[in-house]
Structure 1
């Protein structure tokens, strides 16, 4: 087993049986500039604590897999340069070579499972990119959800993706997709979409019970809880559609591909919305952290 480096807060929570929430680190290193990235990370961690759980921000630093970061480590990560963006394919190589890397959804799920953490809060999952029928650009997040037993709370898949194909792949892979409190799937920056939810649950206890039932049945993989962004923070889909189309065209014209696509698109959408997309992103991540904490607390009591 690879040694895990637990923060003091997470180590204490493990000893006392307190609910723990995994948090990814790419939002810190690839999502926004310093110091806003660290300020946002601390806000999300505070939301988790206020909801009765302990946050465990996950990252690889100097070849060590950290489950939870101390304040100084969070500052260091927020200011680090050349940080790798880690998924299933490269997390082991990053650790073995002593490098520093930030975890995506897939890598965070892997680390969380290694640490015995069952709930993970993020912004939005990766999925099937538009034009994937020719590029074959499909996020490893989808297969991770199908094989790693972690409940992931997100505001749906990122709106820059092909959402119908993304959820079709999840259905094919047998991943439960649960909409929280509504009958349609959210679309990241937008609270609703035109996609009906395969499943709906209205309270954290039922979501926790569904996870335990899957474990009892020996079913592989996790479950995706799609939590709509608060209405007062959303950007309606009709406002976003032409902006996303423009950003996609610019990426295509510049021949941007692979891991560079998502950061480019998110950056251009930030510029085209005059920062509104980042404000929405922060609101939805915090909202997801609160729901994830409620689910983890319910799991800790079951």
Structure 2
């Protein structure tokens, strides 16, 4: 039995309600399904997000936005490796003031499709997070705090998320200036993720996203004798990180009472179900789009539905069930 508010509105034996059995309520918000687009993937424009939404996403997450324009790292910024990708984008974005019109356009597009918008934001301290949060709050349904990017540098990302006190300070500051739900996205690159999770929960976080990319790691071109990525190193995503992500979700679920959104190597309904059994109430898909195309959201939703109907279960029956 899930310890969170996740409910279904339809009879699980009604195969005509195949998609409806995925309806859920998290953070006081109704979602049509638990499969969301992760930050950093197709989250730049309203048209890109509309394509994702029309292919079945229950929510879409914007790229991470900061106070000022940031060009990001030099190319190449992504390289495929066995089991996934290394990426070092460097948080490229036009800055919150310039991006706000695009976010408002995205919100209107998503409202027509009954898809929620998660605004991903970053900063190098609580004051920067505060300013971005104040500006973006009225244009999104939820705010996700990127305190976990492993390759941003300059005091951003995991420089904050690896420290309990800094993480607490950022979350509490943002919670003080906004009424929309606030989710902290955590890094796996810590000694004990439960410590960080309890810290952000204590600071007032409404939920946790776990995990961001693993690493950093690097790949060397043996012909040129140089690192392939322009930033030299980057964060690992893709299928290979899934077992680590699931273990982190499992640990966080045992330590906190707030909902978890699981992310890391999800490409199938079975992957999503594993995350749910570990404790995730919803999941995010990122590099999985590369493997199964834009249709991945509908495909995963169908696969979860088929599993639940076959087993005569509700989502609330499987969330955190391995802890029982």
TM-score between the two structures when normalised by the length of structure 2: 0.31
TM-score between the two structures when normalised by the length of structure 1: 0.33
Give the structure with the higher percent strand.
2
